[in-house]
Structure 1
């Protein structure tokens, strides 16, 4: 995703669209568009403005954009406040279930020798879900079995 797509995806679901986001950022829609398309001598949005948009819409697109640029992924941090071995067991089962779905989807997609657009999308979504769940599993594992100090 390029930076313009990132902003457009970020504001897609907000009521009021660009007008609402522009108002929150203290600019007119014309000024917003000038920043978005870097016209009339306007620079692209600052990091602070992008963060404000992401916070307003509660999306991860800005984080994903920057993470992708440096070869990283964005995963959700699990809530570890009330956690025990039963939660760990459930997390492990869910991790294995998603891995199984990912493996099955890949095998089915390989059947004709080509991954079409829909297959790539399904594989990508399951891959992200598995990676996020694996990271959550590892964080929970550390919380549950960490040496107390």
Structure 2
């Protein structure tokens, strides 16, 4: 699912939740004390924010792209995972099923939102997220097809 983040802190916290080692282990791998790491999460401390290389470290350590997605969101863009280079026919089939499920899920969300004849802010956010997810799945499928059948 392609996430939308309203703040960098939100993206970092989601990265932390995806990492089994937790915040303390991320800080350790970055060469920061737990307190130094935590202080950088405080949005009111402009003098102690994460550097670009530290944000990149968070992504690398956690194996996520949430920080990149935050910056993409700010630019009106989205990130799309690049499929592995050794996609086979069976994996392509699974990718196509995921694409169909994402498109179907988007249709369900739109239908539910329109049930009362109008779309509120929460419903609009759900539609936007489901749309981004469906587009990412479509892009992933296209890339996989190219990789599998490129001569």
Q: What range describes the TM-score normalised by the shorter chain of this pair?
A: 0.7 to 0.9
- Establish whether residue 139 from structure 1 lines up as the match of residue 143 from structure 2: yes
TM-score with structure 2 setting the length: 0.72
Question: 2-side partners of 1:128 and 1:107: how far apart?
Answer: 17
Question: 2-side partners of 1:87 and 1:58: how far apart?
Answer: 21
- Establish whether residue 126 from structure 1 lines up as the match of residue 130 from structure 2: yes
1:108 pairs with 82, 106, 112, which one? 112
Question: 1-side partners of 2:138 and 2:30: how far apart?
Answer: 37
Question: 2-side partners of 1:126 and 1:64: how far apart?
Answer: 15
Question: 1-side partners of 2:39 and 2:125: how far apart?
Answer: 32
Alpha-carbon offset, residue 34 of structure 1: 3.1
1:11 pairs with 11, 16, 22, which one? 16
Question: 2-side partners of 1:67 and 1:114: how far apart?
Answer: 25
2:27–2:37 contact (8 Å) kept in structure 1: yes
Residue 48 of structure 2: SS of its match in structure 1? coil
Q: CA RMSD in A?
A: 2.9
Alpha-carbon offset, residue 45 of structure 1: 0.7
Higher relative CO (Cα under 8 Å, sequence separation at least 6) belongs to 2
Gaps in structure 1 of 5+ consecutive residues: none
1:34–1:42 contact (8 Å) kept in structure 2: no
**TM-aligned CA distance change 1:100 to 1:44, over 3 Å:** same
Tell me the matched-pair count.
144
Residue 40 of structure 2 is matched in structure 1 by 35
TM-score with structure 1 setting the length: 0.73
